[in-house]
Structure 1
Amino acid sequence: MAVRLFEGKEHASSYWRYRVSPPPELINKVLTFLKAHGDSVCELAVDVGCGSGQGTVLLAQHFSRVVGTDISPAQLEQALQHSTAPNISYRECPAEDLPFENGSVDLVTAMSSFHWFDHPQFLQEADRVLKPGGCLAILNYSLDLELSYGHCSRELNLICKEFYDSLQSHRHSHLGPGSRVLYEQIYNSLQYPVKEWEPSYWTQQVVPLSRYIGMMKSFSCYQLLLQKDPEEALRLSQDITQRLLSAMKVTSLETEVTMAVRYFYLLACKPPSQ
């Protein structure tokens, strides 16, 4: 990977506890695309930059074999602890140097990880390992999550927006103007003739407020602030937490809210004759 983050054991554990998994309907869109435009074979899927494996496990029921790859031993340790499917395995390796033979993989996915890679090298490597007719799926979600609770949803989201705005100045320089801009640029530059771009796909799930706070604190911009100024990071998270609780008129972080997540993704099929 071009940038190495998220490698501490505590951070890896928070990834497993708080990060959202792609919803089943989004995985189904990937599979539908593969079966409609690819070779309809579901033998081997490779989930690159798999982190703690939330996305990897979702592929297991659809493929004979699934391999999650990541450069972080701590993340892979979490993935192994929570993986029970016998057809899943994990490999420690860079995204730009995958341990698979030429033309051997049916589906390559990168779920919330592609923006950290060396983009041209990864795309070249994905093309190398994909079978003719194999598919590439690159998924991510935006930082601007939305919360709904009773009659105070608008107030909650104004508070959330302040949180996002406070973190923007701590974005890693590698991310540039934003990952959605990057993903669309990559989509436009891909030479595969069969491809699909979705800039805004909203999903919802009911979670305790603590899950939302934990997820936001796991983001790279918060983690970079935490490294630079731990006291300011703590002050910011405590302030936002108390303001959300006050707006909801509750005291428990286990109070459930509806969290809306906006995904964006690109899908592309390697030409059968390539």
Structure 2
Amino acid sequence: MAHRLFEGKEHAGSYWKYRISPSDHLMQQVLDFLEMHKGPSFEQAVDVGCGSGQGTLLLAKRFASVMGTDVSPAQLEMALQHAIEPNITYRQCGAEDLPLADSSVDLVTAMSAFHWFDRPRFLLEAHRVLKPRGCLALLNYSLDMELSYPDCCSQKLNQVCKEFYAALHPYRSPNLGQASIQLYREAYESIPYPVKEWQECVWDRRHMTLSSYMGLVESFSSYQALLRDDQQKATRLSQDIAQRLMSVMKVTSAETEVEVAVKYFYLLACKPQEA
């Protein structure tokens, strides 16, 4: 069974404000794989578990029609507020029951969402809706993000980050196992398509304020679980980490910009012509 999280309105707002989406470079790798195996006609894509729609907006730049799906009304409400492109639609549904006809979609994506699905059922559903030679793209990033700041010891900075992640680890959902990358690797191995690709270390570097980095980590399910369990403990932890990071950086404002290196992994798979 799929797991329902991220459904509160406040969390959905945080998701839109802080959650990161794949860079243009990373998305281009997905599109290059699709074009190589299917051709340059990008008609319809579906972004499953779309959340507040950041990834859906990226796909809308390249596809004639894009559908974003999610189980959370609050997430979809947030996505609709930002869906100014006329080629985007959103539907509330489970990842395992997509409102799409057989063999109708060029690309099925799930960006940082696949680990919450009923994974075997979703893979069967993706196979059903994909056109022959259509592609499946499952992307995610690890929690082990790295910060850097000019004239600052990166080792000291990231030791604080590691302590933040370690404090959140006991609140990690047991459905994710020790590391979600294992779930994606298992999915890659289980997909019977002869044409597929696995990448487990693609660094994506971006600049954001320290407060945005903190907001990003606070949007994770582990922090949200801690927040539900003990709000004061969660707040103290976040404030302490932010203060320690500023101390290492020798700055006094959380609006100071840092470079955040995010490690992505992904699998790409092309449905055979004769499936």
Q: Shorter-normalised TM-score: what interval?
A: over 0.9
**Partner letter of residue 240 of structure 1?**
I
State the distance in 1 between where 2:102 and 2:179 align: 32
The reply to whether residue 106 of structure 1 matches residue 100 of structure 2 is no
Q: Specify the alignment match of 1:43 in structure 2.
A: 43
Length, aligned pairs only: 274
Are 2:134 and 1:146 aligned? no
What residue in structure 2 maps to residue 90 of structure 1?
90
Amino acid at match of 1:51: G
Aligned position for 1:52: 52
Name 1:126's counterpart in structure 2: 126
Identity of aligned residues (%): 63
Shift of 1:192: 0.6
Provide the rounded CA distance (Å) in 2 between the counterparts of 1:257 and 1:152.
13
Which amino acid in 2 is paired with 1:201? V
Residue aligning to 1:65: 65
CA distance in 2, matches of 1:21, 1:78: 15
2:23 paired residue number: 23
| Structure 1 letter corresponding to 2:206 | Q
> How far off is 1:250 after superposition?
0.8
Output the TM-score relative to the length of structure 2.
0.98
Judge conservation of contact 1:39–1:133 (CA < 8 Å) in 2. Answer: no
Equivalent position SS for 1:169: helix
- Shift of residue 68 of structure 1? 0.3
SS in 1 for 2:127: helix
Residue 82 of structure 1, CA deviation: 1.1
CA deviation profile, 1:51-87 (whole Å, cap 9, x unmatched): 0000000011111000000000000011111111110
Matched, 1:157 2:158: yes
**Counterpart in the other structure of 2:259:** 258
Q: Which residue of 2 aligns with 1:136?
A: 136
- Deviation of 1:189 after TM superposition, in Å, equals 1.3
- Residue 218 of structure 2 is matched in structure 1 by 217
Quote the Cα distance in structure 2 between the aligned partners of 1:21 and 1:118.
Answer: 22
Deviations 1:253-274 (A, max 9, x none): 1100001100000000000111
Write the deviation string for residues 137-190 of structure 1: whole angstroms up to 9, x where unpaired.
000000011100022222110000000111111100111121111101111111
User: Aligned-pair distance for 1:39?
Assistant: 4.5
Cα distance per residue 1:90-117 (max 9 Å; x no partner): 0100000000000000000000000000
Q: Partner letter of residue 237 of structure 2? A: L
Structure 2 unaligned regions, length at least 5: none
Who is 2:199 aligned against? 198
Aligned residue in 2 for 1:247: 248
Once the two structures are TM-superposed, the CA of residue 40 in structure 1 deviates from its matched residue by 3.8
Q: What amino acid does structure 2 have at the position aligned with 1:180? A: I
Decide whether the 8 Å contact of 1:197 with 1:265 is kept in 2: yes
Query: Does the aligned pair in 2 maintain the 1:198–1:266 contact within 8 Å?
Result: yes
Are the equivalent residues in 2 in contact too, given 1:47–1:66 (CA < 8 A)?
yes
Contact conserved, 1:39 with 1:134, CA < 8 A, in 2? no
| Alignment partners' CA distance in 2, 1:40 and 1:61 | 14
Structure 1: runs of 5 or more not aligned: none
Root-mean-square deviation (CA), in Å? Answer: 0.9
The separation in 2 between residues aligned to 1:203 and 1:129, in whole angstroms, is: 30
1:14, 1:214 within 8 Å by CA — same for their partners in 2? yes
Shift of 1:38: 2.3
Q: Which amino acid is 1:114 matched to?
A: F
